[in-house]
Structure 1
Amino acid sequence: MQTGLRIEHINNKDEKEWKVLFDFYYAPLCAFASDLLHDDMLAEDIVQTTLMKLWNNDKTFESQKHLSFYLYRAVYNNTLYHLRDHQQFVNVEISDAISLGHHEDDFAMAVKEELVRQLYEGIQQLPKRRREVITLSIEGKTGAEIAEILQISLSTVKESKAKAIEMLRKYAKDNPLICFL
């Protein structure tokens, strides 16, 4: 359930590894920028430009965690620069304008949302029974209710839930965005 991203290959501009980086980060970074801009195409342009600038400079990273932080921060900053340079702060809704002073909160919230999205991806990769149990648990069902719904024993529910949580913890541990929580 991890990306398999090898940071030393990213630092050495290995094209295959950069494809993995692109596949892993592109959509979440676009969603992040789009939340700030309310413009999907512009968000894609900013993310592409950010990734191209990174490819063309000599920046290296100690770990995937540092790379993740750098990418989100760079997209965030490039989005704000774009808004400033194109004087689009005037076009931002009043509620958004009020929140401009709270960019750090917006940044943290967007990264947390992405982490939740990735955890749901992790849930989708669980074996069927564990996925069903953990999904019902997230919905607020008790162990007894889950056992009744799935027509399994309470001990099977507990065992499935424990194993699902263990797998999700490993996923979260291997996830570079966990540093933002």
Structure 2
Amino acid sequence: MRDPFITPSGLDRINVIGTSGSGKSVFARRLAERLAAPLIEMDRLYWHSNWSPSTDNEFFDKLKNQLSGSRWILDGNYTRTVSMKWEQVETVIWLDYTFLRTITRAVKRAMLRSWSKQEIWPGSGNRETFRKSFLSRDSIILWSIKTHSKNQLKYQSAIVDERYSHIRFIRFIHPNQAEAWLQSLDESKLTKSLAP
């Protein structure tokens, strides 16, 4: 894998991946702001109001439309969309944090959202509740627990898969690495702006 501390070349189409609770949405948002690129949230495309899911055809059509632009930051996994989203992607950033760190973050986020009752996406009516987060078979915390090790195996395989040889994979195993990389982008832009 190449050195992740690079200049912004090749960062027009990026997919940020990681187990739920890894912080990929926050990271993707910050990255989009730094690169002044459109942010595409896959969960937002998938879920209708009141947590009603899209059909696959509907979801694929919405995603294909969003990916038609020349620059974007894509936030999300959704394995069944890999052939579509990774056809054009240049860089995949994998937030591969430890099980304990990921689950702890997932629990804290669920508690905060359940307490605040804030809509996940404005106008959607989608809110997390204590019951949904902690007492349901659809719990995002349970989902994080069940998928953490599966995601590690899946993405480790993808990195060496010849089908994805056109993609640069960047793997961060600690939030400090991700933060340093984001800061390196700012420094790179500053260096370019000061160049004669």
TM-score norm. by structure 2 comes to: 0.23
TM-score norm. by structure 1 comes to: 0.24
Give the greater-gyration-radius structure (CA). 1
Name whichever structure is richer in strand by fraction: 2
